Amino acid sequence: MASAAAMEKMQLRRSYQNLWHSDLLGSIKKDTPYCCFAVLCPPCVSYILRKRALYNDMSRYVCCAGYMPCSGRCYESSCPEVCLGTEVFCCFGNSVASTRFLLQDEFNIQTTRCDNFIIGFMICLQQVACIFSIVACIVGSDELREASQILNLLADLVYCTVCACMQTQHKIELDKRDGVFGPQPMAVPPVQQMSRLDQQYPPTVGYPPPHDAYGQPYGYPPPQAHGYPPPSQGYPPPSQGYPPAYPPPGYSR
């Protein structure tokens, strides 16, 4: 059931239409100092970004943002700051990925092919380095051992670089959300929209749907006055001189 739900969420993410404010390759140019900070102290940056993604409200915190089997089972509500600190230090990769999923699900952000290629290359390089290390231990060859060490070093270098660029990308997106690139920050969404496990449809936080003249989303019939049936054929509609029996939904005085 868990794997089926995860696959369903992955399929849902493919329908997202919005893009990151900056892709992985461009995040270094967008905010070079922050990218260097993410290289030097990645767990601290992961902690800061997750807290910002939760609108600095730690009562919203769930381990790995609700994307892992352990989420909600670690007594996070009793001490969320300690749990988040443990997550970013012990499960750094999952913490970065969870913040990424959190932002994508909140703002309907898709992952570009270039970003997918970079992330996939990083994962494949780590797997190849691990295989070479296992083979070197079994065979006992000095050449294979040196090759595995070089591959491990290269894999670690790529991993640190990609994670730093990814966290810088998240920071730029949060700056966009909080109004750094515009005059008005976006409103804080309800708590239930922050968890991917409770989602069934893409949210509309920050991207509201168009409304008609009655203040309702398209596809909904206009409201009727209390006590009056809808106008039928053969009966003219009420004259324009009479106001409606009550203000339509969405109308603010």
Q: How is the chain split into domains, by residue range?
A: 17-185
Report the length, in residues, of the chain.
253
Write out pLDDT tens, residues 124-163. 998 998 888 888 888 877 888 888 889 899 999 999 999 9
User: What is the residue whose two structure tokens read 């491990």?
Assistant: 152
Instruction: State the pLDDT at residue 5.
Output: 65
Instruction: State the pLDDT at residue 228.
Output: 47
Provide, for the chain, the percentages of residues in helix, strand and coil under a 3-state DSSP scheme, each rounded to the nearest 5. Answer: 55, 0, 40
- Residues of the chain falling short of pLDDT 70: 1-7, 10, 182-253
Global model pTM greater than 0.75: no
159: helix, strand or coil? helix
21: helix, strand or coil? coil
Instruction: State the pLDDT at residue 185.
Output: 53
Residues with Cβ within 8 Å of 127's Cβ and at least 6 positions away in sequence, in order, are none
DSSP assignment letter at 217: B
Instruction: State the pLDDT at residue 148.
Output: 85
pLDDT over 90 for what percent of the chain? 35
Residues with Cβ within 8 Å of 216's Cβ and at least 6 positions away in sequence, in order, are 222, 223, 249, 250
